[in-house]
Structure 1
Amino acid sequence: MSKAISTILGGALLLTGVASAAQAGGLERGGYNWDLLFEPGRVATEAGVIYVMPDRRIKNAVDTRPIDGRGANGIGGGATSVDETPDYSVPRFGLKVGITDEADCLATYSQPWGVHTDPGADWVGANQNIETKIDSDDYGLTCSYKFALNKGYLRAIGGVSYQELDGFKNRLVFGNIFQTPFAALGYDGQGLLSLNADGVGWRAGVAYELPEYALRASLIYNAEIDLGQINGTVDLTEIPGALASTLRNPFVGRVTDVYGTATMPQSLEFKWQTGIAPDWLAFGTVKWVDWSVLEVVAFCPTSTKALGSCGPSSPFRLTSLDLMFQDGWTISAGLGHKFNDQWSGSAQISWDRGTSTGLTTQTDTYLLSGGVSYTPNKNIEIRAGGAAGVLTSGSYGPTACPGTQTCGTDVTYDFGDDFVGALSLSGKLKF
């Protein structure tokens, strides 16, 4: 691959990561990125970070379940408009080594999944969410072997990942605490679900490269990751144990070990790039993620495990994460241009189909990204980029769940077309 095209491609690849982090359907945060595997040369290492600034704002909130809330029943009041999503950062690291002229391997660290919503305790929907946060760590190894084919190469790709997830959800469980003497004793009526899990997954794919024209097309399948048993606790110590009989809930006033099961989604991603004129490159992506695998993640007391499985309809269900995602689709296309031997730039437009079916604020996202790449010499490359987009409007409310259940009966609210921005910086060392 010529130096010109390699320089242009650096800025173009930066935008793929920015778009993935800023659009973030389902629980996607940084997603998967194996582009460093195609870097020519024997050794290449890359590190970067993306900083995302979503401005999602909830409005017109109404507490529709006063028994555990603080709004509609006049207990403690509460705001009807609130900012939902804090800023977040997504780091990544990769080291590619050419084992032979045909075989390459890439070791990576990334944070593919994550979410953080923090509307706080002072809004009328505190019984739905005060703060929810899920983090992930992915340690991956991906290798490829290329075969000569006409003037180009056919590359077979395969790899594995080990993932760790942890997180929590905090919400108001018993709003009526504000009308009792217990409030004066420091009880706030909140409950906290904490969880952690891990699992192993694999990937396989194929790519065709024609270096003469900077042509590359790749199709990579990432298998689902079965987290097995998710372990956690439900902490209801902010509700007095003396209310256990009144509330008909033996778990209030104490911390209970719980368990559940979930699978992180499979995905299929097609990427392409091609030179279209001297110093010009076109590129794009189509990605599908099976987010509908995450519907209602139930948690049951560990002490009941021998009595049956824990699912949305289990009589032992203590709490749950109600998601009801639909599959995600992302489509993007862009252009890159070399200005001189050191500088190139690129721009990309992308659309992400929202995964929400009524229980999250993750609606369609439209994004415009831009980036520059600076290559002072053949061994160093520095990339910087940014993105601006629109998180489209929608609403939260009652949504059909597995069986005859209805989720989202605790609060209703709307959200408008909101802004999302992102900044990215990365560096690459190759030799």
Structure 2
Amino acid sequence: MRTMGRVLVTASALAIGASTAWAGGVERSAQSVGILFEKGNYAEFSIGRVSPDVSGVQQVSAAATSLAGAPSGDMAGDYNTYGVGVKLQVNDRIDVALVLDEPVGADVAYAMGSSPAGMNYLYGGSTADINSLGATALLRYKLPNNFSVIGGVRQISTSGTVALFNGYQMRTSTETDYGYVIGVAWEKPEIAARVALTYNSSVTHDFNANENGLSTSFETEIPQSVNLEAQTGVAADTLVFGSIRWVDWSAFEIAPPAYMGAASNVFADPLVSYQDDTFTYTLGVGRKFNDTWSGAAFVTHETGKGGYSGNLGPTDGSTALGLAATYTMDRMKITGGIRYVMIGDAETETPAGIGIPTGSCNLTGDSDCGTFGKFTDNTALALGLRVAYSF
């Protein structure tokens, strides 16, 4: 059973990690601590490719009746994800690890589609990008009775750019700030059982920004999160695994002061914000076929929030199916995975003040101007590859 656990842990880790290939907010890393439980000294490199297809249709509204029926085109660009991790066993009680990843990211690009009347979708030509680099140093200390405590420090560097159809442009500085990780775990190696509960603190950035030539500043919080990861052997060569992840997305917003109209209060809402937090659930089964091959199948569900979604992120929850396979050769393990994501339908709200004729919508702070766009039947395909070596 111990051998089965070692062989399958890579497949299950890739499956859980891939669960954030399309996740709530702008999240791109699950912040798993699974690397701490690898045996001995261990290193891994992973890369993924995500191809989302997110499109919608502009609705009839008092704000822009002439644009009704205009298609948005695919507004979510393809992107790559990556991760590097090294874990060292210091002694029988202490393990340390360093993980590099991309905690948050965004690649938004609205095409210049057209309605039957020849008018462009209002957000046509708008783009937004968020780039980040995270480095997390972790330590695990083993206690008696199969318990262990986990602690660490997390560094995140983040920057972003936005260019909207109405001429608004914004570019931020690259800011580097710190948070922490704490947790506890329990194991029963003879049945490949493990439960790990970890808390990741929020990380707050104070950005300097250039908004259409104006020097401004604003604060954005990369939200706190809680991970519960578990696995256990249920039969010979068979492992069940899963995770529950909560992220405090209601604390996240991008609200540059010039965009918000600090003096005139023209804009009612931030560029990006979320009304509710997200819960992401993953459940899977792994199977060792022989000493060389093992595989895993899993399902992931992220709860929808309801209400309106932002025009720069018109999705609401998701359900995904995935497969992963691991090839083991001496000290090396190569794992590949694929994941098909059914993205939740969403409606976006008419954006008060953005290129909409005066009188068509309340521009004094109330953005409740009705449904602007409907985004339905959207999907994403994610591919992942991980190469690991024990030494």
State TM-score, norm by structure 2.
Answer: 0.87
**Do structure 1's residue 166 and structure 2's residue 116 form an aligned pair?**
no
Question: Please, which of 312, 320, 332 is the counterpart of residue 367 of structure 1?
Answer: 320
Q: Which residue of 2 aligns with 1:306?
A: none
1:271, CA displacement in angstroms?
0.7
Q: Which residue of 2 aligns with 1:181?
A: none
For 1:380 and 1:172, how far apart are their aligned partners in 2?
49
SS of alignment partner, residue 7 of structure 1: helix
For 1:321 and 1:207, how far apart are their aligned partners in 2?
39
Q: Which residue of 2 aligns with 1:299?
A: 256
Question: Please, which of 347, 353, 359 is the counterpart of residue 395 of structure 1?
Answer: 347
1:356, CA displacement in angstroms?
6.5
SS of alignment partner, residue 110 of structure 2: coil
SS of alignment partner, residue 13 of structure 2: helix
Q: How does 1:115-154 map to 2 (within 5 A)?
A: 115-122=106-113, 124-127=120-123, 130-149=126-145, 153-154=146-147
Deviations 1:158-193 (A, max 9, x none): 0011111111111122xxxxxxxxxxxxxxxx2211
| Cα gap change, 1:49 to 1:195, in 2 (>3 Å) | same
Q: What amino acid sits opposite 2:191 in the alignment?
A: Y
Is contact 1:128-1:411 (8 Å) kept?
Answer: no
SS of alignment partner, residue 48 of structure 1: strand
Tell me which moved more, 195-204 or 328-337.
195-204
1:274, CA displacement in angstroms?
0.3
Structure number with higher helix proportion: 1
Q: Which residue of 2 aligns with 1:305?
A: none
| Cα gap change, 1:356 to 1:112, in 2 (>3 Å) | farther
Q: Which one has the largest radius of gyration? A: 1
Q: Which residue of 2 aligns with 1:347?
A: 297
For 2:260 and 2:374, how far apart are their aligned partners in 1?
26
SS of alignment partner, residue 36 of structure 2: helix
Q: Which residue of 2 aligns with 1:214?
A: 192
Q: 5+ residue gaps in structure 1?
A: 67-71, 174-189, 236-254, 302-310
| Cα gap change, 1:317 to 1:121, in 2 (>3 Å) | farther
Tell me which moved more, 122-131 or 416-425.
122-131
For 1:332 and 1:98, how far apart are their aligned partners in 2?
29
1:65, CA displacement in angstroms?
4.4
How many residue pairs end up in the alignment?
Answer: 369
Q: Which residue of 2 aligns with 1:69?
A: none
Q: State the superposition RMSD in angstroms.
A: 2.6
For 1:356 and 1:117, how far apart are their aligned partners in 2?
21
Question: Please, which of 235, 238, 255 is the counterpart of residue 280 of structure 1?
Answer: 238
For 1:208 and 1:411, how far apart are their aligned partners in 2?
48
Q: What amino acid sits opposite 2:274 in the alignment?
A: M
**Do structure 1's residue 27 and structure 2's residue 4 form an aligned pair?**
no
| Cα gap change, 1:375 to 1:127, in 2 (>3 Å) | closer
For 2:125 and 2:151, how far apart are their aligned partners in 1?
40
**Do structure 1's residue 51 and structure 2's residue 49 form an aligned pair?**
yes
Is contact 2:281-2:301 (8 Å) kept?
Answer: yes
For 2:193 and 2:282, how far apart are their aligned partners in 1?
17
